[in-house]
Structure 1
C-alpha cells in the first residue's frame, strides 16, 4: 500500500490552518458569548440566592415576630390572670378583714351591753336589798337600839384626836345632834354623854332626819361624826360596788 506523504502533509497543513481560522474567527466570539452567558447565569443565580436569603430572613423575622406575639400574648394572659387572682385575693382579704372588724365590734358592743346590763341589774339588786334592809332596820328602832348608838357615839368621840374634839366643843354655832326621830326620854342620857366627852361648854341642838334610819350623829359646819344605820348601809353599798 502506497502512502501519499505529500497529500498527508497538505491535509495536516489544511487542518492546522482551519484550526487557526476557527480559533481566530469563530472560537473567541463563541467563548466570549459563553463566558458572558455564564456570568449572566451566575449573576442571576447570585441574585436568586440573595432574594432567597432576603425571603428567608423575612420569613425568619415574621416567624420570630409571630413567636414574640404569641409569647407576649401568653405573658399578657398570665399577667392578667395573676392580676385577677391578686385582685380576688385582695378583695377576699379585705372582705374577711371587714367581716372580722364587724364581728369584733359586734362582740365588743354585746360585751359592753351585757356588762352594762349586768351592772344595772347588780345596781338595782343592790339598791333593792339596801331598801329592804333599811325598811327592816326602821322597824327595829327602840330604846335598846338607841342606847346602843349612844354607846357607839361615846366610843367614836373618844377615838377622835384631841384637836378635833376641842374644835367640835368650841364651835360657836354649836353641835347639831341628828337622830332619826325624837329621842324623847333618851335626850338626857345623850346630853350627859356628849357633855362628858366634849365638856359642859358645848352647845347642843337636837334635830331629826328620818333618812338616818336609826342612830345618833354629830354635825358641824366643817365636821360630821357618822353613827347611824344610814352610814352603815352606805358602807355596805360601797363594799358591794368595790366587789364587782
Structure 2
C-alpha cells in the first residue's frame, strides 16, 4: 500500500485548523456557557441552602414560639386553677362562718327563749308561792307567826357586823321595824324591847306595815337592812332553784 504523504499532511493540517477553529469559536463559548451555568447552579444551590437554613430557623422559631405558648398556657392554667382553689376555699370558709353564725344565732335565740320561759315559769311559781304563803299566813295565829319570825330576826341581828350594830346604837340613829301585818300593843312592845336589847340601844323604833312581806319582819337601820320574812325566804328559794337548774 502506497501512502500519499502530501495528502496526509494536507488532511493533518485541515484537522489542526478544524481543531483550532473549534477550540476558538466553539469550545471556549461552550466552556464559558457551561461555567456560567455551573456558577448559576452553584448560586441556586447556595440560595436554596440559605432558604433551607432560613426555613429551619423559622421552623425552630415557630417551635420555640409554640413551646412558649404552651408554657404560657400551662402557667395561665395553673394560675387559674390556683385562683379557683383559693376562691373555693374562701367560699367554703365563708360558708362555714355563715353556718357557724347561723348556728350561734339559733342557739342564742333558743337559749333566750329558754331563759324567758324559765323566768316566766319562776315568775308564775313565785306568784303561786306568794299566793299560797299569803293564804297560809291568813289561817295562822298572827301572834304565833310574829313570835316565830321575831326570833329569827333577833338571830339575824346578832350576825350583823359590830360597826353596823354600833351605828344603830347611836342616839340619833333612825330605826324602823317593818311587819307584814299590824302588831298589837303588847306584841309591838315585846318586839321593840327584844330588838333594842339585840342592838344595844334605848331608842324607840318606828313601826310600819308592808303586806308584801307576807309574814315576818324587816329592820331598817342607818346602813343596813336585815329581815326574816316569807318574801325573802321565797326569793332565796327561787334563786337557789335557778342556780340549781343552771348548774
Q: 1:114, CA displacement in angstroms? A: 0.2
Corresponding residue for residue 114 of structure 1: 110
SS of residue paired to 2:136: coil
Change (3 A) 1:174 1:78: closer
TM-score, normalised relative to structure 1: 0.80
The equivalent of 1:192 in structure 2 is 193
> What secondary structure does 2:188 align onto?
helix
In the superposition, the TM-score normalised over structure 2's length comes to: 0.79
Within 5 A, what are the aligned runs for 1:7-86? Answer: 7-8=4-5, 10-11=6-7, 13-14=9-10, 16-57=12-53, 59-60=55-56, 63-64=59-60, 67=63
2:161 match:
161
Further displaced range: 134-143 or 94-103: 94-103
Distance change in 2, residues 1:173/1:163 (3 Å): closer
Q: Which stretches in structure 2 are left out of the alignment for 5+ residues?
A: none
Q: Which residue of 1 aligns with 2:125?
A: 129
Deviating beyond 6 angstroms after TM superposition, the runs of 4 or more aligned structure 1 residues are none
Superposition deviation, residue 156 in structure 1: 1.8
Q: CA RMSD in A?
A: 3.1
* Inter-CA distance 129–76: structure 2 relative to 1 (3 Å threshold): same
Pair 1:143-2:139 in alignment: no
Distance in 1 (alpha carbons) for counterparts of 2:196 and 2:81: 93
State the distance in 2 between where 1:153 and 1:226 align: 6
Which shifted more, 113-122 or 147-156? 147-156
Offset, 1:78: 5.7
State the SS of the aligned residue for 2:228.
Answer: coil
Alignment deviations for residues 90-121 of structure 1 (CA, whole Å, 9 cap, x no partner): 55444434433332222111111000001111
Alignment of 1:211-222 (within 5 A): 211-222=212-223
